[in-house]
A = this chain, B = another copy of it.
Amino acid sequence: MNNTKATWIWYPGDFEMMLFGKCMARRYERDVMIAPFWRMDGYYHTVKFVREFTLSKPDRIRVLAEGEFNISFEGAGYVREFDGCLELPAGTHKMSVLIHNDGGLPCLYMEGEELVTDKAFSVTCQDHTLLPVGSWNFTAERSPNGYRLPERAARFLSERKVAGGTLYDFGREVTARLRLNGLRVGQTVEISYGESQEEALDVLRSEQFDRITASGETVTLPITKTFRYVYLPAAESCRAELLEELPPSPTRSKFRSSDKLLQDIWDTAIRTNELTNREFFIDGGKRDRWSWSGDALQSEWISFYSTFDTEIVKRTVRALGGKSPVATHVNHITDYTLYWILSLYDYYEYTGDLYFVREKFSLAEEYMRFCGGRTTEEGFLNWRPNDWVFIDWADMDNRGETSFEQILYAAALREMSRLAASLGKDGEAYARESRRVFDNTVKVFWKNGAFVHARRDGVLGEKVTRYSNLFAILYGFADEGMRESIVKNVILNDNVQKITTPYMRFYEFIVLCRTGRAREMTEELKKYWGGMLQEGATTFWEQYDPDEKGVKKYAMYDRPYGKSLCHAWGATPVYLIAACLFGIRPAETGYASFVCAPETDVLGDCEILVPTAHGSVRVRIEGGAVEIENENCGGRAELPLRYAKSAPERMIGTENGKVIFRIDRGERVTFVPKED
């Protein structure tokens, strides 16, 4: 009997190319479809699967394939008069299945007693290279070509008459398809959606709008929208309900806190994350519904503390990386190519999945060659007409060379050297270049105790921004003196331009924690994300400026409701709480062991459960006692020194004013502090 379950298989990465094309074209601005402005790669329509296997007894194998196909066996040739099942004798067989699918993904499913389609199959696009197949969890009944996220029927919380129409309120943000009942055939219905009530009621200017002509009594809209409110300006007798689209995998983490605000922030961040976890990590549910590598990196970090859905990470990395030949930066953004490299490395750190690193490594190398081909003599990535240097939505001039890109580049180079090493390759050239880029960055941009933002035409600017300074600490490039200087001169300096996106505030908050300011970070976190809650947020926003009040706060991109009120990068409190305040992270690649370093003085009574690559870790803080319970892997706790006496037999050592305890596999341990 086989040990693995049969799944559909395909050419690696091609399911993602096919699905990415479909999903990215689902962005609509009212009646206008808006597909991305970067290259979306096609996929192979003709591929060949091969497998050598041995049957201990005769087997009857059911075969499903999408596309025209043939099956052949070495020595026996093509299978003729094929009726859907293969009857094979015991023994060793060398099988090939060639599939051509004009309009979709060529894919294969086989299920016998001893042979099933699984990762043991190889595939080729017939370029003389055999690759491990792509696969997931598709069963006989559900092929990759028909993949859809699950849906469930849902009802609005309330409805009321406004200006002759009906305003529906779901009570919170949702991604769903609308279903209208009680229609007259031929009746035209206009539908205005809103993340805010103001938007839904502003029928001519809402970002999401449908106009349908009823073909029957009930009409279900084909494409989901993301909204809280729906307004039918002239709905007459029709009634609206929903098909809510669910994320691809459930949230596996839990957080319970006696701090109501922190609890609300967590819950709202989780909801935000769920709505931006679709087939891929997307930036926002309403706008722009695309995957962006910089945003996706944060979603990935969040996923490790919520769903631990490794498949959505891989899908997104595959889709964003696209296919060789590399001709542009990922998303056309220089920073985003570098984040793409980092996302591959971080995935490896949390999962230890060398299989995936191997799949993507040559493309990663091609991206690094692409970057290397666009550097100055100092090794700097500079602004070029077609290379968007994004950094953040804020007032800044990124032409010339920015210190931020160089530090991010140095980080990507260093992680490439580590990825190379993970595959047993020599990554020293990457490591060397990383050091050179950072050293030159210091030489050029470090002035008066901070990194200056940019140099243009050889002239160093005067403006200091937070970004490069944060990243020098975040990626561990800054030494102790630099760190102190950056904290004082930049991070705690109110004269340095403030960050208004959750995107970059996130990194600032991590750095606050890293530099021993967990309490300040938590206060700021509650102020910033709490501010959105006070404004009525049920998911977190793309941008938040406490000074913007009323309907004005919904505007962005010169559009009155252009701002996304459910944006992936708004969900980072999940990471800030779990990874920074509880300090839970892998101690070794692939979560072979974990570390837990809770900020006991900041957190108050609370409890968290987070998934790991092999199970979960639960931490409870109550009346000063810290209980840590872990499944399937051991690790260590880093606690203030006053816990030292509670379990001396477990002490490993002390470090930076903390005592380090051993926690064995599958154990629950409680540490009780002794007040000095």
Task: Give chain A's interface residues, CB within 8 Å of chain B.
Answer: 21-22, 24-25, 29-46, 48, 68-70, 78-82, 98, 100, 102-104, 125-129, 324-325, 327-328, 332, 386
Contact = CB atoms under 8 A, between A and B. Distances in A.
Contact of A46 (B35, B48, B68, B80): B35
Contacts of A68: 25, 33, 35
A67 to B, nearest CB: 8
Contacts of A70: 32-34
A128 B327 contact: yes
A80 B30 contact: yes
Contacts of A82: 31
A127 B328 contact: yes
Nearest to A124: B39
A346 to B, nearest CB: 27
Contacts of A33: 68-70, 100
Contact of A21 (B34, B45, B126): B45
**Which residue of A38, A42, A98, A129 has the most chain B CB atoms within 10 A of its CB atom?**
A42
A102 to B, nearest CB: 6
Copies in the complex: 2
Contacts of A332: 128
Given A22-B102, A33-B69, A104-B103, A42 B45 contact: yes
A126 B38 contact: yes
A308 B196 CA distance: 65
Contacts of A40: 44-46, 100, 125-126
Contacts of A69: 33
A80 B39 CA distance: 24
A85 to B, nearest CB: 15
A128 B80 contact: no
A427 to B, nearest CB: 24
A21 B328 CA distance: 27
A194 B78 CA distance: 21
A22 B25 CA distance: 25
B32 A78 contact: yes
A70 B30 CA distance: 12
A127 B25 contact: no
Q: Which 6 A-B pairs have the closest CB atoms?
A: A42-B42, A103-B103, A25-B100, A127-B327, A40-B46, A33-B68
A336 to B, nearest CB: 15
Nearest to A25: B100
Given A33-B70, A78-B29, A81-B31, A39 B328 contact: no
Contacts of A103: 102-104
B43 A42 contact: yes
Contacts of A79: 32
15 contacts: A21-B100, A29-B78, A31-B82, A33-B100, A34-B70, A35-B100, A36-B126, A39-B44, A39-B127, A40-B45, A40-B46, A40-B100, A41-B42, A126-B328, A129-B327
Contacts of A35: 46, 68, 98, 100
Nearest to A30: B80
A328 B128 contact: yes
A451 to B, nearest CB: 30
A38 B127 CA distance: 7
Contacts of A325: 324-325
Nearest to A96: B37
Contacts of A46: 21, 24-25, 35-36, 40
A634 B172 CA distance: 80
Contacts of A129: 327
A39 B100 CA distance: 12
A373 to B, nearest CB: 14
Given A35-B100, A102-B103, A129-B327, 18 more contacts: A25-B100, A31-B82, A33-B68, A36-B46, A36-B126, A37-B98, A39-B127, A40-B45, A40-B46, A40-B125, A41-B44, A42-B42, A103-B103, A103-B104, A126-B328, A127-B327, A128-B327, A128-B386
A362 to B, nearest CB: 11
A100 B37 CA distance: 11
Nearest to A78: B32
Contacts of A36: 46, 126
A250 B456 CA distance: 63
